[in-house]
Amino acid sequence: MAFLLWSLIACNGENTGEDLGEYTTDTGGLTEDIPFSVPDGSSSAVVYCGPYGDNLVGTAWEIKDADGNYIYTNEFHDDYAPTKMRVGNLDDLLPVLMPVSPDLDLSAGDHTMKVWIASNGQPVTVKCDAIYRSGGEGSSIDLHFWFVGTDLNESNVDKDEDWSTVMAHVRKWWGAGGLEVGDVTYDDFTGSVDQYTVLDADTEFNDLLRTTDEDGEVLTIFLVQEITSSSGGTILGQSAGPPGLPTVSGTSKSGMVVTMADLHDDPVGVARTIAHEGAHFLGLFHTTEKDGSNHDPLGDTPECTDSDDANSNGTLEPDECPDGGNLMFWGQSDAADISDDQSWVLRRNPDVY
């Protein structure tokens, strides 16, 4: 197979891409080995495959390093063993970020990955690519906000005190974790505003993210009036990750969405949603999922596992859990701490320069 390399110039280091070609799943939903070549000096890599449709879910089945050793196996894999690696289960397009923990090295050389897609025995063909970040860790992230039918807009955002509070808290929390907010730009959405002002997370989220058209090192954030779901409950924000697809626009994994419904009643809460969902996009998982069933792969984040700490609905509460004050605890709290290992992951994302 011939490989095509392309480059995106970053302010600190360089993102280099590799065209991995097309692969078709077998009747069990598995692709063959997808080879990708990590260059010397790479601090992170993102391998992504798709699209395969919003009605299908895909994930990684196995990942092997240049020496043929497993660095990840799915829990249903015959050779499954726990590792400091976690992969999302995502619809339509699958980005896999490596490493997602400082306890897992990313070695240079020829790696392989197999992707599994839940396609009910029907073959699915996907296009795969890779992004490699060189130059070590970064320290800044640029943000591009799009106002979608909200009272806040491009012309009044600089005068809004509650929005100033939002951005001050995002800068403070991320800054404490070694991630500075760089350039911030604002635009009024010019697409189907009436369609997306009240966003149906089940059917419209992916389509809204597909409207992005700016490749490069920037995190795109859509601000809508409300987010709804057929499952009910309150949705404050939703990220394409973890992780989202960095540096590439026009896909279902090219950004995140946050509701502005509580901007004037709870600007600090809006700030925490932006910081939390943005960290998902950059590669962080919840420290503890809401039922305690799973945790992030990081060694320095505490875990909540005691079912006695759950409420009557079986969900864990921040004031009862040792990680309740962490930015990536599953639910809202009054704190937004970022651990050293979490900072390590954030600063190696290809969107960070």
Q: Could you read off the pLDDT of 277-301 as tens digits, one per residue?
A: 999 999 999 999 888 888 999 999 9
Q: Which helix (H) or strand (E) holds 259?
A: strand 256-259
Q: Which helix (H) or strand (E) holds 277?
A: helix 267-281
Q: Using the predicted structure, report yes or no on whether residue 97 has a pLDDT greater than 90.
A: yes
- pLDDT at 3 (0 to 100): 35
Give strand pairing partners of 112. 35, 64
Token couple for 3: 């490989």
> What are the distances in angstroms from CA 277 to CA 57, 79, 167, 240?
20, 33, 14, 9
- pLDDT at 290 (0 to 100): 85
Q: How confident is the model at residue 11 (pLDDT cuts 50, 70, 90)?
A: very low
The residues, ordered by sequence, that sit 6+ positions from 302 with a Cβ below 8 Å of its Cβ are 287, 321, 322, 323, 326
pLDDT one-digit tens code per residue, 224-234: 999 999 877 77
4-134 topology per CATH:
Jelly Rolls (2.60.120)
Mean pLDDT (whole number) for 249-265: 98
Closest Cα to residue 145, out of 258, 312, 50, 262?
258
The residues, ordered by sequence, that sit 6+ positions from 125 with a Cβ below 8 Å of its Cβ are 22, 23, 24, 25
Domain locations in the chain? Answer: 4-134, 140-346
pLDDT one-digit tens code per residue, 40-83: 999 999 999 999 999 999 999 999 999 999 999 999 999 999 99
- pLDDT at 8 (0 to 100): 47
**pLDDT above 70 as % of the chain:** 94
pLDDT one-digit tens code per residue, 109-151: 999 999 999 999 999 999 999 999 998 899 999 999 999 999 9
- pLDDT at 7 (0 to 100): 46
Q: What's domain 140-346's architecture? A: 3-Layer(aba) Sandwich (3.40)
